[in-house]
Amino acid sequence: MKVLALVAVLVAGSASAQDRMSSAQCTESFNAVASLVALSIDAPDIAVTDDTWCSVSSAQIEVDTDFVLQIGTLRWRASDMDRFLNEGLPPRAVEIEVTGVQVLPQTGDPVLDYLLALQRSRSSIAFGLDVKWDGVQNAITVEDTFFAFDPTNRIEINALIDGANLTDTGTMQALLGTAGLRDLTMKADFDGWFETYVALTIGQTFLRAGDVTPQAQVEALKRQAIAFVEQLPDTFMPAPSRAAVSEFVIALPTPRGTAQAQSRQTPF
């Protein structure tokens, strides 16, 4: 959760962040976020690139005693970063690019840790985000957010949140419950990422050791999920959408291909 908080603070508010980042802004914003989320971050020098992005290479985040998060390169830039540094408010715009993300176990055995790091060196995750806050419309736009496990395993998200007034702390607190998700589009290319990164967590939650095999339990859960989806009313999920969701469930736990979900709420 702390890792998610680190990303959330860095990206809160964003747009076509075109401000030229200074060395002081890069260092201060990085240290402020690290302090805010209370994570131990081992990072070399924080630099300003030729295209005025803040950049950190070969950083390690100690999430807990069991593993560390290793980042190949982290780049960010923001518009009106002084809002965050001086007032603790989200900047008006932030763009972030992260490449070479790896989760490295910490077993306490230096030899095993070294070998596990070698084993995972070919597998790394990239992440990108461009978020905009429109202070006139009080809307946050999330554009071209993506998680890329590799070229054929990718998740993309675009969203619009309205009723988001980030003018000052008091206004943000007063309107916290009024912001709403207006539009959401999610697209995922499945070529193994589900079973590699998600199946273990879901399986440990729903599957139980006993007389019924895990495979049989999975099939039973899929039948229950499909039955639930088929009972949803058209006003909540149209028939073509129910059919598409059912097809996805049938393909579990090894889905292949592209899935896209869209949600749109009409303003009153």
Note the pLDDT tens digit of each residue in 183-192.
999 999 999 9
Name the domain boundary from 176, 191, 206.
191
Shared domain for 183 and 206, answered yes or no, is no
Does position 128 have pLDDT exceeding 50, yes or no? yes
pLDDT for 208 equals 95
Number of C-beta neighbours around residue 122 at 10 A: 8
User: Is residue 48 within 8 Å of 55, Cβ to Cβ?
Assistant: yes
Shared domain for 154 and 230, answered yes or no, is no
**Percent of all residues in the chain with a pLDDT value above 90, rounded to a whole number:** 51
Tokens 């009972």 identify what position? 231
Q: Whole-model pTM?
A: 0.79
pLDDT for 6 equals 43
Using pLDDT thresholds of 50, 70 and 90, give the confidence band for residue 118.
Answer: confident
Instruction: Tell me the pLDDT tens digit for each residue of 39-94.
Output: 778 877 899 999 999 999 988 888 777 778 889 999 999 998 888 888 888 899 99
pLDDT for 267 equals 58
Shared domain for 9 and 129, answered yes or no, is yes
Does position 7 have pLDDT exceeding 70, yes or no? no
Least confident of 3-17, 144-158, 223-237, 253-267: 3-17
Could you give the number of structural domains in the chain? 2
Shared domain for 63 and 133, answered yes or no, is yes
The dihedrals phi and psi of 149, each to the nearest 5 degrees, come to -75, -35
Cβ neighbourhood burial of 158 (10 Å; 0-12, 13-18, 19+): middle
Shared domain for 182 and 51, answered yes or no, is yes
Q: For the chain, how many helices (H) and strands (E)?
A: 9, 10
pLDDT for 5 equals 41
Shared domain for 163 and 210, answered yes or no, is no
Shared domain for 48 and 99, answered yes or no, is yes
Does position 194 have pLDDT exceeding 50, yes or no? yes
Shared domain for 214 and 142, answered yes or no, is no
**Percent of all residues in the chain with a pLDDT value above 70, rounded to a whole number:** 90
Shared domain for 87 and 150, answered yes or no, is yes
Name the domain boundary from 160, 191, 222.
191
Tokens 């540094």 identify what position? 85
Q: Check residue 89 and report its DSSP letter.
A: P
Shared domain for 185 and 125, answered yes or no, is yes
Shared domain for 234 and 149, answered yes or no, is no
The more confidently predicted of residues 25 and 1 is: 25
Name the domain boundary from 164, 191, 218.
191
User: Is residue 84 within 8 Å of 6, Cβ to Cβ?
Assistant: no
Residue ranges making up the domain that contains 219:
197-264
Shared domain for 187 and 205, answered yes or no, is no
